Copies of this chain bind each other. A is one copy, B any other.
Amino acid sequence: MAITNEQKNCQWRIARRPKGNVVAEDFLYHEEEIPILQDNEILLRTLYLNLAPVMRMYMSGESIAGEKGLDIGDVIHGRGVAEVIKSNNSNYKPGEILQGQIGWQTFKSTEVTERERFRKINNCGLPFSIGLSTLGMTGLSAYFGLLACGKPKKNETIVVSGAAGGVGSTVIQIAKMIGCRVIGLAGNQAKCDLIKELGCDEAINYRTEDIRQTLSNLCQNGIDIYFDNVGGDILSASLDHLAQNSRIVLCGSISEYLHDKPYGLDNYTKLRRTNSCMQGFFIYNYSAQFDAAEKELSSWLKERKIKPVEHIYDGFENMPKALSSIYDGGNYGVALSRIRHGPNDDE
């Protein structure tokens, strides 16, 4: 792992709009002075930064989830885990580890506002990367998407796409706790092995298997919940196999991020014939319930009922390449870049 320059604030900024997948030339490496702490601010030293499909959309200038799109030259948006190294805010003390919006940079000085709340991480004895996986937006998305939108009941059949991803891998484990039959879709054999290890009753390799035929075989009584992390074809195939009163949870659409033309879903009327529901969800709408959810997720972590699945890329300097690889399906679990080793790290 390359050593991060501790004398400067290192940043990745956007050099130009990406076309298709991101490439090195879309990014600009920049160094500047470490910011000087102002009144009410805290100074953060970055430990981990999240890598998420949505980042390419920010880079394309799209405004999403309350974050405005990026202008050329802006520091790239991204949530991260960081250590407080100085504080002019009595609620935060040096040494505390927080998660929140940091951006692709190795230091950040910021006020804590209602909009940019930095949450202290109760790490349950695990590495603090947990603040971006099970106890971050990923885990919360799995929690609210499955429980509040999917409303699973024991013995129901749930199909999860992107099952080896950050959200998917958590959904699988919660669904198994509830007593559902879980069928996961993933894009290679190693991922299929992983999701079976996490509890999937069946794993479908969507790159080599005929999805519709396999769903027909495996879901003879229909799908009760389809948890969608990918959109497109797999969503369409699931619509063709719904049970009565089933629920589709629209969580992500990674299959669409690299296409110029969005997917035309031509069998949405299947929702009518099965009395089914397609529920979109936006995690920040549940923010009033984040504390309670985090408490429950923490207790499951401590009891080892669920575990984080993290794909950690090393080094700030490798972030552009790491982001590119997640669109190729190269990662499993939550994709993170480790910027510095934090307390309690496993290496």
- Which residue of chain B has its CB nearest to the CB of A279? B277
Q: B269 touching A276 by the CB < 8 A rule? A: no
A14 to B261, CA, bound (A): 42
Give chain A interface residues in 37-84, CB to chain B under 8 Å: 64-65
Chain A: residues with Cβ within 8 Å of the partner, total of 32
Q: A275 touching B266 by the CB < 8 A rule? A: no
A262 to B281, CA, bound (A): 26
Q: B271 touching A279 by the CB < 8 A rule? A: yes
- Which residue of chain B has its CB nearest to the CB of A228? B272
- Which residue of chain B has its CB nearest to the CB of A270? B280
Interface check A192, CB cutoff 8 A: no
Q: B271 touching A278 by the CB < 8 A rule? A: yes
Given known A-B contacts A264-B264, A277-B277, A256 and B282 have beta carbons under 8 A apart:
no
Chain B residues in 8 Å Cβ range of A271 = 250, 278-280
A269 to B228, CA, bound (A): 11
A268 to B262, CA, bound (A): 10
Interface check A136, CB cutoff 8 A: no
A318 to B96, CA, bound (A): 81
Interface check A231, CB cutoff 8 A: yes
Q: B231 touching A273 by the CB < 8 A rule? A: no
Q: A273 touching B265 by the CB < 8 A rule? A: no
Q: A281 touching B285 by the CB < 8 A rule? A: no
A263 to B273, CA, bound (A): 16
Of B65, B266, B280, the contact of A269 (CB 8 Å cutoff): B280
A281 to B262, CA, bound (A): 26
Interface check A188, CB cutoff 8 A: no
Interface check A244, CB cutoff 8 A: yes
Of B268, B275, B281, the contact of A272 (CB 8 Å cutoff): B281
Q: B264 touching A250 by the CB < 8 A rule? A: no
Q: A250 touching B272 by the CB < 8 A rule? A: yes
Contact mask for chain A residues 244-263; partner B; CB cutoff 8 A; 1 contact, 0 none: 11000011010010000111
Give chain A interface residues in 267-323, CB to chain B under 8 Å: 267-282, 285
Q: A282 touching B278 by the CB < 8 A rule? A: no
Chain B residues in 8 Å Cβ range of A261 = 266
Q: A282 touching B277 by the CB < 8 A rule? A: no
A285 to B262, CA, bound (A): 33
A129 → chain B closest CB, angstroms: 26
Give chain A interface residues in 114-165, CB to chain B under 8 Å: none
Q: B285 touching A280 by the CB < 8 A rule? A: no
A55 to B239, CA, bound (A): 24
Chain B residues in 8 Å Cβ range of A250 = 268-269, 271-272
- Which residue of chain B has its CB nearest to the CB of A251? B272
Q: A244-B285, A264-B266, A275-B280 are in contact. List 18 more A-B contacts (CB 8 A).
A: A64-B273, A244-B282, A245-B285, A250-B268, A250-B269, A250-B272, A261-B266, A262-B266, A262-B267, A263-B266, A264-B265, A268-B268, A270-B280, A271-B278, A271-B280, A272-B282, A276-B280, A278-B279
Binding site for B on A (CB under 8 A): 64-65, 231, 244-245, 250-251, 253, 256, 261-282, 285
Question: Could you show 26 A-B contacts with beta carbons less than 8 Å apart?
Answer: A64-B273, A231-B269, A244-B282, A244-B285, A245-B285, A250-B268, A250-B271, A250-B272, A253-B272, A261-B266, A262-B266, A262-B269, A265-B266, A268-B278, A269-B280, A272-B281, A272-B282, A275-B280, A275-B282, A275-B285, A276-B279, A277-B277, A277-B278, A277-B280, A278-B278, A278-B279
